[in-house]
Structure 1
Amino acid sequence: MTDAKYDVLAIGNAIFDVLVQTDEGFLAKHAMAKGSMALIDEARAAAIYRDMGPATEMSGGSAANTIVGLASFGARTAYIGKVKDDQIGRMYAHDIRAAGVAFDTLPATDGPATGCSYILVTPDGERTMNTYLGAAQKLTPDDIDAGQIAAARITYLEGYLWDPKDAKDAFVKAATIAHDAGREVALTLSDAFCVDRYRDEFLELMRGGTVDLVFANEAELHSLYQTSDFDGALKQLREDATLGIVTRSEKGCVVVSNDGVISVPAFPIDTLIDTTGAGDLFAAGFLFGLVRKAGYEKAGRLGGLAAAEVIQHIGARPQVSLKQLAEQNGLPA
């Protein structure tokens, strides 16, 4: 196996985030399930946007947030995701490249606009997402660069990719190329409602060896195994995945593997502002620790550090250098 050009390559829905701080009444008015991610059409997107107050707009997308976090730690990174050649799509491409991430996916020249997610943040910091996939759902197997995939130590995929059919095929193609090159494949389950939609398929990806590493939060884990018994679900995850990482908010995380079970505490924070991107940035820190061979415990601490940074401000991407933050907290790579 040749040396890797990239530490991690991520594939995901390229989505532009529109964030607004609101209240429970707004969610009720628009019949939103708090804490969920719902797929919406262009008409509903327009209705939500019309009713929203002043918003913060920035590039987003789950796997993209993770890969930007990895780049902030100093990792060598690449991203595959579909935008349209429109104003927002060009901003998106600029933002991810400016973060130090290789992004070569050709933009769509026709069809729907670049995807947007309307994210409502309530006073408790919980985020409720309404996503118009737009051009993101036009990602196809032809967008998968076999050379790039083979050159990445880990290919990281988001569960949201399982919604569009062509993206699902692109996901499987990338996993096959990665394994043929002797690389590893990681999956984040993304959202408990996403797991509800594709539970059997996600389990088959794990049990069939299509993915090696699985990231989940507690809600996603319970949804995956349809049980409220955390320890029982964790035991099942240990059997189904080569490596499983479960985040538990203020309780930290649990890592399960053939070597056993490790619990890592969360990093303390001053004020919870916005949980958007917490899981994405946790994955960034953990994967960085993994590719630097830091061990599962230190990887968990790096993940907790990155998550703690991102939940203390609006937006799903770090506002400081995570590399410097790790050094300041005694966690140099």
Structure 2
Amino acid sequence: MKAIDVIVVGELNVDLILNQIGTFPEVGKEILAQQMTLTLGSSSAIFASNLSSLGAKVAFIGKIGQDPFGEVVLQSLQAKGVDTSLIIQSADLHTGATVVLNFDEDRAMVTHPGAMNALCLADISPEHLSRAKHLHFSSYFLQPGLQKEITDLFRLAKALGLTTSFDTQWDPQEKWDLDLAQILPYVDVFLPNEKELFKLTRTNSLTEAIAVLPENTRTVLVKMGNKGSVSWCDGKLLPMEPFLNEDVVDAIGAGDSFNAGFIYKYIQGASVEECQRFGNLTGAVSTTAAGGTTAFTDYNKVKKIAQEKFGYAL
């Protein structure tokens, strides 16, 4: 028996979220936000927090500074039951932060990477990985310390008997310099959104993108926001309708919440279709509250939101 269901390797930061703004700002001008929230940010941390809230045993490997934002990160993860004993704190580093401006269902973000630049493969012990059933890695383009070693990380995880998942997230430099042919043979579940997949594959349609992925790619889940999702597995494409929220608070962390729902079912051995449907649901649940983690207290709360908001019984 493994002590940990999922070990997450990734970036850690806080989000300063500005809601209820009339429009995006212009250079030299000031606008007002009627609501502000300081909360746990970063794709990896939102995924870990929500997966733990669903009931999985989750541990995290990452780096933060010894500063107030770092304490917010630790306390937020611990409050959701995430094992933070493998997170490295350094007085020489500053915890990263993202300022998020929400406007309708779109957003603009500015990120200070801070300590997330410093995480490298030497910080990840094979002994620690071997305690888990599954490895999840996210935000490749925000972690330069791991970019040259990412294939080694996935190869090590597979050698230790773990299943794996990978969500590249957006490339702020928009270079999209990532060798999928090298990495995906060691990835069991690849979790891009539609725009990211097109950028990574230099294509303009889903069929074209799937066609240029390596032949030994296992399972691909393409997140499509309010259009739902599409999975590709064993040569079959499966589009799935979304759970639509007509009163979106914000879409922060919706994709990470999809990932959490999918992997929660995946580590239980559920079918890709069942995993995908639950991912669609948890992605939608995320949009019912501010920030990426607020809607996820525990499984019972998710179950209640699913029934009351979306008419879906778990």
State the TM bucket, normalised to the shorter chain. 0.7 to 0.9
TM-align CA RMSD = 2.5
| In structure 2, distance between residues paired with 1:239 and 1:312 | 38
Partner residue in 2 for 1:227: 203
Give me the whole-angstrom Cα distance separating, in 2, the residues matched to 1:101 and 1:173: 25
SS in 2 for 1:315: coil
Residue 65 of structure 2: SS of its match in structure 1? coil
Residues 271 and 51 (structure 1 numbering): CA distance in 2 closer, same or farther, change over 3 Å? closer
1:56-95 CA-partner distances (Å, limit 9, x unpaired): 1011110110111111111111111111011211221111
User: CA–CA distance in 1 between the matches of 2:251 and 2:129?
Assistant: 30
Q: Would you say the 8 A contact 2:8–2:60 is kept in 1?
A: yes
Deviation at 1:125, TM superposition (A): 1.9
* Alpha-carbon distance in 2 for matches of 1:81, 1:127: 26
Query: Partner residue of 2:78?
Result: 97
Q: Distance in 1 between matches of 2:28 and 2:251?
A: 21
Residue 116 of structure 1 is matched in structure 2 by: 97
Matches within 5 A, 1:273-292: 273-292=249-268
Letter in 2 for 1:178: A
SS of aligned partner of 1:273: coil
1:170 Cα offset (Å): 5.9
Per the alignment, residue 29 of structure 1 pairs with 27
Matched, 1:133 2:113: yes
Call closer, same or farther: CA 1:199–1:240 in 2, change over 3 Å. farther
Partner residue, 1:330: 313
Distance apart, 1:238 and its partner CA: 7.5
User: Whose helix fraction is larger, Structure 1's or Structure 2's?
Assistant: 1
Letter in structure 1 aligned against 2:54:
F
Q: 1:165 to 1:75 in 2, by over 3 A?
A: same
- Is this contact kept in 2: 1:13–1:62, CA < 8 A? yes
Alignment of 1:162-311 (within 5 A): 162-169=141-148, 171-191=150-170, 193=171, 196-206=174-184, 209-237=185-213, 239=215, 241-258=217-234, 260-311=236-287
Change (3 A) 1:321 1:280: same
Offset of residue 265 of structure 1? 1.6
Structure 2 CA distance for partners of 1:313 and 1:287, relative to 1, 3 Å: same
Measured in 2, the distance between the counterparts of 1:237 and 1:194 equals 22
Letter in 2 for 1:140: C
CA change 1:30–1:274 in 2 (3 A) is: farther
* DSSP 3-state at the match of 2:56: coil
Tell me, what secondary structure is at the counterpart of 2:190?
Answer: strand
SS of residue in 1 equivalent to 2:88: coil
Q: Is the 8 A contact 2:288 2:295 kept in 1?
A: no
Residue segments in structure 1 that go unaligned for 5+ positions in a row: 32-47
TM-score by length of 1: 0.83
Q: Distance in 2 between matches of 1:155 and 1:175?
A: 8
CA distance in 1, matches of 2:18, 2:43: 18
Deviation at 1:326, TM superposition (A): 3.8
Q: Find the counterpart in structure 2 of residue 83 from structure 1.
A: 64
| Deviation readout 1:163-188 (Å, 9 max, x if unpaired) | 44323356444323211112122110
TM-score, structure 2 as length reference: 0.88
How has the CA–CA distance of structure 1 residues 142 and 23 changed in structure 2, closer, same or farther, with 3 Å as cutoff? farther
SS of 1:18's equivalent in the other structure is: strand
Paired AA for residue 109 in structure 1: A
Which amino acid in the other structure matches residue 61 of structure 2?
A: I
TM alignment of 1:308-323, pairs within 5 A: 308-321=284-297, 323=299
Q: Give the counterpart of 2:51 among 70, 78, 95.
A: 70
- 1:107 to 1:157, Cα distance in 2 relative to 1, 3 A: same
Deviations 1:137-173 (A, max 9, x none): 1212232132221222221111x23444323356444
Measured after TM superposition, the shift of residue 30 of structure 1 is 7.7
